[in-house]
Structure 1
Amino acid sequence: MGEREPLDNPEPTHGICEQHKAQVLESLPSRSFPDVELLIVVPRNDTALYERLNGSFAAMSRVKVIVERRVSDRRAAS
């Protein structure tokens, strides 16, 4: 309401503004890591950083450290 023209129309719109879209997406649990609150993605070529972070957060069950698996940026390819 009040996000798109006509702004004075009180009827619901069938969209969501970028700010609220981001808030909604951030509030959803991850399908890959549903019990994780903090996911740390380490570059694949930095094994020392991975080992250090993985050791530091090992006792925290809600934190997961993973190595990036992507070979290239999918957004750049499209």
Structure 2
Amino acid sequence: MRTLRLAAGAEAASLVVLSANLLTVHTPAVSSLVGPLHGTAYLVVIAATWQVSDAAASGARWASVVPGVGGLLALRRLRNAGV
């Protein structure tokens, strides 16, 4: 669960940074540094959620594949399920 929490935070934070960069100065260096971080965090969120045994019953597995905020949605569903 700790891995899922860290990856969900990194996924959401990197999306904010990428969006802010796109809406303001669009510096290629920021995109090239934060883009792979966001993609890796997204994949870690999916993998970590699918390893939680109670994730299938709560619908967290399918929530985790939502780009950008899937990790936060999965954590919310797991918390509401009592995991």
TM-score where L is the length of structure 1: 0.26
State which structure, 1 or 2, has the greater radius of gyration over its C-alpha atoms: 1
Higher relative CO (Cα under 8 Å, sequence separation at least 6) belongs to 2
